[in-house]
């Protein structure tokens, strides 16, 4: 019997999200060397929820309200303690996304048409929307990989929610997987619901043993069935051996007499013969059951060996990705520091151009520093420093939310803080 498999894998950083996106969308040539991926079948992969851009870009689109809220809060924080949205998301203890995996074993998918597999996938997505509680706007990407040994679904979701912040007594955005999968006990309840939904839709699947992974299920079931088979064979063998020994002793003691076509034996020997024949008949009747158990054990053994091979390959891939991810993190930190230092040095150059540049140069620089501000590279004070005393002063100050009063001072539209010029 095949099992209904549903797993949840947290994605902790945007770098991890980018790597998973490359795998799920088959974006990197490195996956062409993966022996589990059949290159001629990549075209058969099925998009359930499309993602036409990079995962990280789509993440920013889905969480734009969260980003806006974060940037507003940063305006009230001392400059040297401010964090960009990118850094805040990566440094948070929460996840940035959650990857849901749905699959079964090769027996379940054997001889199933593309339409049947798509019907199974739609049931899985119904579970995502109706049982897990995600909205369609929270699904970053969902795809069926048909190009590996066993078809499976990768569904990446963003658990973005609004929660009450007890410190400020206001609702704030946060990314929290626990709002959808609270703990292992809740996960077990969800796996029950997933299995029930599949059965209701006509899929012949077993619910996995609670608190276990599919690999542990196979091992335990395998050992259990092996013990049952050993016990059954041992019992049959002992029964026949004992009855045969008893019959042999009786036959040696009594001397059957042959009269024409008849063989005459004493009563005790006759009873021993009947007992042996009865035991032999029972063993023969049990043969189909034994054969069925042997066949099931062979299938378990085959599936377990396949799982082991897949796990070995998966572990190699995970180790490789972890190493690659660490290298990317280091490179990213180096680039972030380089960009930060470069932008700090550019401030004086921008300021100089706003003083002595042509009108066109001033317009270009003005748009450039606005862009850097909108993307959290420059702060309010940075823009004040660059534009103060230039012809672009008023335009830039208004861009960051300040208005000029009659005393030629600037005041933020929504507070009493003033900047004296």
DSSP 8-state assignment for residue 356? H
Q: Which of 309, 337, 365 is the last residue of a domain?
A: 337
pTM score above 0.85: no
Verify that 391 and 281 share a domain, yes or no.
no
- Residues of the chain below pLDDT 50: 212-219, 416-421
The answer on 22 and 158 residing in a single domain is yes
- Judgement on whether residues 10 and 109 belong to the same structural domain of the protein: yes
- Give SS3 for 175: strand
Q: Return the pLDDT at 190.
A: 93
Report if residue 352 sits inside a domain: no
Is residue 299 domain-shared with residue 266, that is, in the same domain? yes
pLDDT tens digits for 218-253? 445 555 555 565 566 666 666 667 776 776 777 677
- 305 and 381, same domain (yes or no): no
CA distance 62 to 137: 7
Count of domains in the chain? 3
* The pair of three-digit structure tokens given for residue 116, joined into one six-digit string: 């049947």
Q: Are residues 25 and 128 both part of a single domain?
A: yes
For 373-390, write each residue's pLDDT tens digit.
887 778 888 888 898 889
Residue 247 and residue 199 in one domain: no
CB-based contact 172:165 (threshold 8 Å): yes
Which residues are registered as beta bridge partners of 402? 412
Number of helical (H) and strand (E) elements in the chain, helices listed first: 12, 13
Together in a domain, 378 and 241: no
Residue 347, domain member (yes or no): no
The confidence score (pLDDT) of residue 302 equals 58
Please tell me the predicted confidence (pLDDT) of residue 219.
46
> Are 329 and 414 part of one and the same domain?
no
What is the model's pLDDT at position 32? 62
C-alpha 344/C-alpha 386 separation (Å) is 11
Residue-range definition of the domain harbouring residue 63: 3-208
Does residue 115 lie in a domain region?
Answer: yes
- Are 52 and 165 in a shared domain? yes
Of the candidates 197, 161, 156, the one whose C-alpha atom is nearest the C-alpha of residue 179 is: 161
Residue 198 φ/ψ region, left for φ over 0, alpha for ψ in the -120 to 50 degree band, beta for the rest? alpha
Q: Which residues of 59-81 are buried (b: 16+ CB within 10 A; e: fewer)?
A: bbebbeebbebbbeebeeeeeee
Residue 156: name the closest of 37, 9, 26 by CA.
Answer: 9
User: What are the pLDDT digits (tens) for 149-195?
Assistant: 889 999 999 999 988 888 878 888 999 999 999 988 899 899 999 99
End-to-end alpha-carbon separation of the chain, Å? 78
Calpha distance 120→113 (Å, rounded): 11
Which of these three, 156, 174, 208, is where a domain ends? Answer: 208
Structural domain contains residue 279: yes
In a domain, 349, yes or no: no
Is the Cα dihedral 278, 279, 283, 286 positive or negative?
A: positive
Q: Quick check: 230 and 237 in contact, CB under 8 A?
A: no
- Please check whether residues 284 and 401 belong to one and the same domain: no
The answer to whether residue 378 sits within a structural domain is yes
Are 256 and 265 spatial neighbours (Cβ–Cβ below 8 Å)?
A: yes
CATH number, domain with residue 174: 3.30.930.30
Task: Provide the CATH number for the domain around residue 269.
Answer: 1.10.287
- Residue ending a domain, choose from 192, 208, 224: 208
Residue 342 belongs to a domain: no
DSSP 150: S
Contact call for residues 353 and 392 (beta carbons, < 8 A): no
Q: What pLDDT is attached to residue 217?
A: 41
Same domain, 277 and 390: no
d(CA 152, CA 143): 8
């Amino acid at each position: 019997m095949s099992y209904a498999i549903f797993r949840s894998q947290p994605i902790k950083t945007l770098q991890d999200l980018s790597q998973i996106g490359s795998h799920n969308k088959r974006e990197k040539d490195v996956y062409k060397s993966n022996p589990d991926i059949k290159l001629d079948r990549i075209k058969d992969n099925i998009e359930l929820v499309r993602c036409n851009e990079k995962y990280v870009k789509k993440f920013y689109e889905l969480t734009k309200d969260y980003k806006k809220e974060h940037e507003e809060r940063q305006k009230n924080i001392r400059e040297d303690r401010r964090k960009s949205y990118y850094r805040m998301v990566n440094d948070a203890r929460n996840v940035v996304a959650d990857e849901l995996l749905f699959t079964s074993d090769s027996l379940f998918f054997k001889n199933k048409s593309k339409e049947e597999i798509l019907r199974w996938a739609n049931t899985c997505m119904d579970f995502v929307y109706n049982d897990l509680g995600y909205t369609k706007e929270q699904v970053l990407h969902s795809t069926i990989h048909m190009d590996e040994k066993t078809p499976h679904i990768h569904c990446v979701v963003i658990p973005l929610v609004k929660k009450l912040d007890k410190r400020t007594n206001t609702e704030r955005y946060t990314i929290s997987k626990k709002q959808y999968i609270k703990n292992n006990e809740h996960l077990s309840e969800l796996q029950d619901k997933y299995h029930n939904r599949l059965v209701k839709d006509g899929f012949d699947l077993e619910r996995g043993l609670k608190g276990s992974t599919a690999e542990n299920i196979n091992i335990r079931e395998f050992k259990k069935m092996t013990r049952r088979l050993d016990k059954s064979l041992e019992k049959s063998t002992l029964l026949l051996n004992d009855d045969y020994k008893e019959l042999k002793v009786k036959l040696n003691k009594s001397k059957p007499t042959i009269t024409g076509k008849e063989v005459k034996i004493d009563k005790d020997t006759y009873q021993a013969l009947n007992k042996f024949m009865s035991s032999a008949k029972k063993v023969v009747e049990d043969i189909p059951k034994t054969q069925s158990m042997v066949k099931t054990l062979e299938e378990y053994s085959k599936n377990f060996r396949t799982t082991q091979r897949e796990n070995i390959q998966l572990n190699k891939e995970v180790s490789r990705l972890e190493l690659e991810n660490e290298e990317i993190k280091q490179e990213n930190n180096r680039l972030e520091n380089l960009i930060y230092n470069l932008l700090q040095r550019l401030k004086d150059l921008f300021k100089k151009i706003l003083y002595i540049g042509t009108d066109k140069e001033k317009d270009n620089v003005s748009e450039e520093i606005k862009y850097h501000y909108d993307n959290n590279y420059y702060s309010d004070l940075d823009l004040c420093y660059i534009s103060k005393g230039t012809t672009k002063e008023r335009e830039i100050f208004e861009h960051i939310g300040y208005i000029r009063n009659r005393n030629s001072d600037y005041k933020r539209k929504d507070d009493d803080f003033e900047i004296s010029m």
